[in-house]
């Protein structure tokens, strides 16, 4: 299975993100802060999150990549991903990834033999080697660090409303892209968008909602496929 989809997604996630959050209606003081302080406040707020849902679309050249993942701090994630059509379900738990794709997905990424063997079943693999980039996406703590730790020169923009939430924009004048941070309740990022062929828009929501992860039964180990 090729890893270019996973690598492309992580590269975009390193400079993009979108977070939708619940919170109170009182002003949290974010609009009066400097751009760097706003990003710092958003980062601190995210570090306390235990679960979160991420969804949206990014571009790998002219190929759209979509994400719909629920992440649990310290455990992993579950959800789906797709690249220009072929999609797969994913469960990442305790440094192991389980992938359940359609026959079209397996034919596209692995060929006819894996497609025949894996139809209706999951493939099991360690989150190392070609799947290391997937570990970066499904690890909540590492994902949060990647989202907000690295940026260029920041400029503060106007306040606006996104998805019914009052936000303030912070733009990266060096790398491009705009982060929108909630100005009420906790200063979670609401959305980050970036134009261009490597841009996109992502959203986070469902903060701290109860969620459990379970390893799928009867998975086929990836090493079994290498012997075919």
In tens, the pLDDT along 179-204 reads: 899 999 889 888 888 877 777 888 87
pLDDT exceeds cutoff 70 at 93: yes
Mean pLDDT of the 54-63 span: 77
Mean pLDDT of the 202-214 span: 86
Task: Name the residue ranges covered by the structural domains of the chain.
Answer: 4-27+50-152+195-219
Mean pLDDT of the 159-188 span: 89
pLDDT tens-place string over residues 18-42: 333 345 567 899 999 999 999 989 8
Average pLDDT over all residues of the chain: 80
Alpha-carbon torsion, ordered 176, 179, 180, 184, to 10 deg: -150
User: pLDDT above 90 covers what percent of the chain?
Assistant: 25
Mean pLDDT of the 198-224 span: 85
pLDDT of residue 61: 66
Mean pLDDT of the 61-79 span: 87
* Closest by CA position to 101, among listed 76, 123, 84: 123
Q: How far apart are CA 100 and CA 219, in angstroms?
A: 9
Chain position carrying tokens 């992580």:
10
Phi, psi of 18, deg, nearest 5? -145, 125
3-state secondary structure of 41: helix
pLDDT exceeds cutoff 50 at 13: no
pLDDT of residue 31: 95
Q: Which of residues 156 and 25 earns the better pLDDT score?
A: 156
Q: Which of residues 194 and 91 earns the better pLDDT score?
A: 91
pLDDT of residue 163: 83
Contacts of 17 (CB under 8 A, 6+ apart): 54, 147, 148, 179, 189, 192, 202, 204
Q: How far apart are CA 20 and CA 204, in angstroms?
A: 5
pLDDT exceeds cutoff 50 at 225: yes
Q: Where are the beta strands (DSSP E) in 84-216?
A: 87-93, 96-101, 123-126, 154-162, 165-172, 178-182, 189-194, 200-205
pLDDT of residue 92: 93
pLDDT tens-place string over residues 112-133: 777 778 877 889 999 888 787 7
């Amino acid at each position: 299975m090729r890893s270019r989809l996973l690598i492309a997604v992580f590269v975009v996630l390193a400079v993009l993100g979108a977070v939708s959050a619940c919170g109170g209606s009182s002003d949290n003081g974010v609009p009066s802060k400097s751009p760097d302080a706003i990003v710092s406040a958003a980062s601190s707020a995210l570090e306390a999150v235990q679960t979160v849902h991420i969804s949206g679309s990014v571009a790998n050249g002219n190929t759209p990549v979509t994400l719909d993942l629920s992440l649990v701090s310290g455990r992993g994630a579950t959800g789906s991903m797709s690249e220009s059509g072929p999609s797969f379900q994913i469960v990442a738990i305790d440094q192991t990834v389980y992938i359940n794709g359609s026959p079209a997905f397996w034919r596209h990424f692995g060929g006819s033999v894996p497609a025949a063997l894996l139809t209706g079943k999951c493939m099991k693999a360690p989150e190392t080697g070609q799947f290391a980039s997937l570990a970066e996406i499904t690890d909540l703590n590492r994902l949060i660090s990647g989202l907000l730790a690295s940026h260029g020169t920041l400029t503060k923009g106007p306040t606006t409303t996104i998805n019914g939430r009052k936000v303030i924009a912070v733009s990266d004048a060096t790398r491009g892209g705009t982060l929108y941070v909630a100005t009420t309740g906790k200063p979670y990022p609401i959305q980050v968008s970036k134009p261009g062929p490597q841009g996109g828009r992502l959203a986070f929501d469902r903060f701290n909602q109860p969620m459990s992860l379970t390893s799928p039964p009867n998975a086929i180990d990836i090493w079994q496929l290498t012997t075919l």
